[in-house]
Chain A
């Protein structure tokens, strides 16, 4: 028997053992079935058909635990967004492992807290890369943190996939930096186009948080789009993170009589702005229009009636009826007892994308994973049919939502 033949026999035996193990594992958790089956449905033929040839090609294949880092804000004010993000990652990892998506290898998610802070984000990345030897990193939460920490991953040649970084220039940091969060530059022009066609406004007031990369870059895109469409901006009002009183700005806006108010803010602040605007007597036909930040169940929950009619451009919709999305929402509700938001949908998708890249690469080599990640096209996900473009930015259709009876619906 030649060396090669012997290797084949060993591989075959190993493969048999693996199949038996996976079979046994699948048979055990009966309760997991509905959720666990969903993303597998997109490629039902894959596991049995592909396992044999790939295992033969690369003798080492995939086995043991594959460590993937998760660097998100789990404490401090930004944990508000870090928590659903981590929930999405953990849900996806559980599904990936339960259905044996990676053959006999399992995904181990190692979480580090960035606290939404630049220095802590850098520390988290360094620990994940140097101490934990992760093959890839999911995170960080804020664009601000990404600008600080992603270069660490780039230098170490570890792929990093952000699921909530939407500021301009994130992926320009290097060829190992990816994101699956549709930037505001894709979402906002679509929102303005669609709402202007329906509502026909040409004089608006603009409000934004001027001490945050996300809301600032949202404002820049709003301004460019409004200018481009010939919409007059009557006034531009700013506020700071943590502000709760907006009555001075809103009083000024009211006196200028805009037809709509464009807001680049996160849901909690936006909700307060809406409540106070209605209290000051800004009438309901003056609609609020916002970007990704509006798209949270918190908006209607906090603002109550004042949120009615608010329009949100978004990368993801809880109202989208695709199978992947409905399965995701159901699984999330079952596990966490609440509705997912866009951050959870994007981090869930990011984890699946990473698993797909590892599987496609059939390797735990970060460079191979990076190459496979960049090759992903038309992946069915809760966000829709997902692809990366050549600049490692996401490509999928944005949506426009409107609050109706306290729930987001597709704006038509």
Chain B
């Protein structure tokens, strides 16, 4: 049972990390806690679902399509909810409130369009294959999602560290004004950040929609809370931190169910969060990686 629980934890950790990646990216670079991330994640799942059911495309086309469209939605979100505030030098709290409003609007639109009921991808979208290694069972889908999550993290990190745009992003994270003086098109970088972050959210939406067969306008809520925990635990804006914290939170949860009681699952997970923050107030990985320029 122990190894199955470890596998469960790693799998759940991949889920949390996948969601938290884009979440922490916007915070790290733009200093915005984008509470509409969960709504973009939800729309990503629906974009994927529509591509599969209405346009009749296989899932490996639906995934990039959903990422592109979600990325576009992210840019729209920035133009409508954040840019006007930025231009007016609004106080720090304003973008958070604005993102809550955007989130409510996006969720209501989805509910008007798709109704409140739960939908799922057609059962034959992804082959159901279960591998039994000793007493441990893993599905092909779980393996694929785990691998995709790792690839995305590595790619995102390489992009931020190596690419020219990535370097510009880090410069913007350090100081928007200095970046502008150095000739970086700050607005273009912000658009790019929203695109990448929202595309990641869309990918997470499609993959989790596939994994849990629970696509609904409200699917973002519970994940958003866990995602917030993960990015705080990992150090706000820190990409590896979010990844490691995702696994840590998930394994803590799974083991507390296995060896204590499912009644105390969240209590134990949040106690761990509390203790970590007491010892390291800035999260496990301290200062935002992207800002260490």
Across the interface, name the chain B residue whose C-beta is closest to A296.
B117
B163 within 8 A of A: no
B1-41 with Cβ < 8 A to chain A: 1, 4-5, 8-9, 11-12, 15
Out of A83, A242, A275, A280, which one reaches B222, CB within 8 Å?
A242
Beta-carbon contact of B111 and A75 below 8 Å: yes
Contact A83 B117 (CB under 8 A): yes
A337 nearest CB across to chain B (Å): 12
Interface size class of A (residues with CB under 8 A): 35 or more
Q: In the complex, A75→B112 CA distance in Å? A: 9
Contact of B12 among A78, A245, A252, A302 (CB under 8 A): A245
Q: Chain A, 232-254, contact with B by CB distance < 8 Å: what is the 0/1 string?
A: 00000111101111011101101
Query: With A and B bound together, what is the CA distance between A247 and B212 in angstroms?
Result: 11
User: Which of B65-73, B168-176, B252-260 lies at the interface with chain A?
Assistant: B252-260
Closest to A255 in B: B1
Residues 104-146 of B contacting A (Cβ, < 8 Å) = 108, 111, 115-118, 120, 123, 130, 132, 137, 139
Would you call B208 an interface residue if the criterion is a C-beta within 8 Å of the partner chain's C-beta atoms?
yes
Q: In the bound complex, what is the Cα–Cα distance between A79 and B123 (angstroms)? A: 25
Within 8 A of B (CB), among A312-347: none
Asked whether, in the complex, the Cβ of A302 is within 8 Å of the Cβ of B213, the reply is yes
CA distance A305 to B4 in the complex (A): 23
- Binary interface profile of B, 209-249, with partner A (CB < 8 Å = 1, else 0)? 00111101011011000000000000000000000000000
- Which residues of A198-257 have CB atoms within 8 Å of chain B's CB atoms? 210, 237-240, 242-245, 247-249, 251-252, 254-255
Please name all residues of chain A whose beta carbon is closer than 8 Å to the beta carbon of B262 when the two chains form the complex: 237-239, 248-249
| Residues of B with C-beta under 8 A to A302 | 118, 120, 213-214
Q: Is B263 an interface residue when CB atoms closer than 8 A count as contact?
A: yes
B16 (CB) vs chain A CBs: closest residue? A245
Given contacts A77-B116, A80-B117, A255-B1, contact A248 B257 (CB under 8 A): yes
Q: Which residues of A contact B253 (CB under 8 A)?
A: 248
Q: Is A298 an interface residue (CB 8 A)?
A: yes
A117 within 8 Å of B by Cβ?
no
| Contact B218–A245 (Cβ < 8 Å) | no
- Indicate if the CB atoms of B1 and A252 lie closer than 8 Å: yes
CA distance A359 to B234 in the complex (A): 65
Which of chain A's residues have a CB closer than 8 A to the CB of B219? Answer: 244
B216, A252: Cβ atoms closer than 8 Å: no
A252 touches B257 (CB 8 A): yes
Chain A contact residues: over half helix, strand or loop, or mixed?
Answer: helix
> A95 at interface (Cβ–Cβ under 8 A)?
no
Contacts A272-B213, A298-B117 given; indicate if A249 touches B257 (C-beta within 8 A).
Answer: yes
Q: Across the two chains, which residue of chain A brings its CB closest to B11?
A: A247
Kindly state whether residue A91 has any CB partner on chain B within 8 Å: no
The reply to whether A80 and B257 form a contact with Cβ atoms under 8 Å apart is no
Question: Contact: A281 with B11, CB < 8 Å?
Answer: no
Q: How far is the CB of B10 from chain A (nearest CB, A)?
A: 11
Q: What's the minimum C-beta distance from A253 to chain B, rounded to whole angstroms?
A: 10
Chain B interface main SS type: helix
**Contact, CB under 8 Å: A251 / B117:** no
Question: Which one, B108, B211, B258, contacts A251 given CB within 8 A?
Answer: B258
A251-B8 contact in complex given A279-B130, A281-B130, A281-B132, C-beta closer than 8 Å: yes
Q: List chain B residues, Cβ under 8 A from A304.
A: 123
On whether A77 and B5 interact (CB within 8 A), knowing A237-B262, A304-B123, the answer reads no
Number of residues from B at the complex interface, CB < 8 A = 39
Closest to B122 in A: A304
Q: Contact mask A270-285 → B, CB, 8 Å, 1/0?
A: 0110010001110000
Complex: how many Å from CA A275 to CA B214? 12
Q: Decide yes or no whether A268 CB sits under 8 A from chain B.
A: yes
Closest to A73 in B: B116
- Shortest C-beta distance, B248 to chain A (Å), equals 15
Least Cβ–Cβ distance between B71 and chain A, in angstroms: 24
Q: Does A76 contact B (CB under 8 A)?
A: yes
Q: Find B254's partner among A79, A237, A240, A248 (CB 8 Å cutoff).
A: A248
Contact of B258 among A75, A245, A248, A280 (CB under 8 A): A248
What residue of chain B has the Cβ atom nearest to residue A251's Cβ?
Answer: B4
Task: Please determine whether A272 and B212 come into contact, CB atoms closer than 8 angstroms.
Answer: yes
B247 to chain A, nearest CB (A): 14
Kindly identify which residue among A76, A78, A280 contacts B137, using a CB–CB cutoff of 8 Å: A280
Task: Tell whether, in the assembled complex, residue B8 and residue A83 are in contact, meaning their CB atoms are under 8 Å apart.
Answer: no
Q: What is the minimal beta-carbon distance from B31 to any residue of chain A, in angstroms? A: 29
In the complex, which residues of chain A have a beta carbon less than 8 angstroms from the beta carbon of B123?
Answer: 304-305
Please tell me which one of the listed residues A78, A80, A248, A255 contacts residue B8 in the complex, with CB atoms under 8 A apart.
A248
Give the residue name and chain of the B residue nearest to A81 (CB). Answer: B116
Distance in angstroms from B243 CB to nearest chain A CB is: 18
Tell me the residues in window 50-81 of chain A with beta carbons closer than 8 Å to chain B beta carbons: 75-80
Complex interface residues of chain A between 329 and 388 (CB less than 8 A to chain B): none
Task: Determine the distance from Cα of A161 to Cα of B115 in the docked complex, in whole angstroms.
Answer: 26
Nearest B residue to A208 by beta-carbon distance? B262
Assuming A268-B118, A302-B213, is B263 touching A238 (CB within 8 A)? Answer: yes
Nearest-neighbor residue (CB-CB) of B12 within chain A:
A245
User: Which residues in A have their C-beta under 8 angstroms from that of B214?
Assistant: 244, 268, 272, 302
- In the docked arrangement, what's the CA distance between A355 and B139, Å? 53
Q: A242 to B262, alpha carbons, bound, how many Å?
A: 15
Chain A to chain B contacts (Cβ below 8 Å), 14 pairs: A77-B218, A79-B111, A82-B116, A83-B116, A210-B263, A242-B221, A244-B208, A245-B212, A248-B5, A248-B9, A248-B12, A252-B258, A271-B213, A281-B130
Chain A contact residues, CB within 8 Å of chain B = 75-80, 82-83, 210, 237-240, 242-245, 247-249, 251-252, 254-255, 268, 271-272, 275, 279-281, 298, 301-305
Known contacts A244-B211, A251-B258, A255-B1, then 20 further A-B pairs from the complex at CB < 8 Å, ordered by chain A residue? A80-B116, A80-B216, A83-B117, A238-B263, A244-B222, A245-B8, A245-B15, A247-B254, A248-B12, A251-B8, A252-B257, A254-B1, A268-B214, A268-B216, A272-B213, A279-B130, A279-B137, A281-B130, A302-B213, A305-B123
9 A-B pairs closest in CB distance = A242-B222, A79-B116, A244-B212, A248-B257, A247-B8, A248-B254, A77-B218, A80-B116, A255-B1
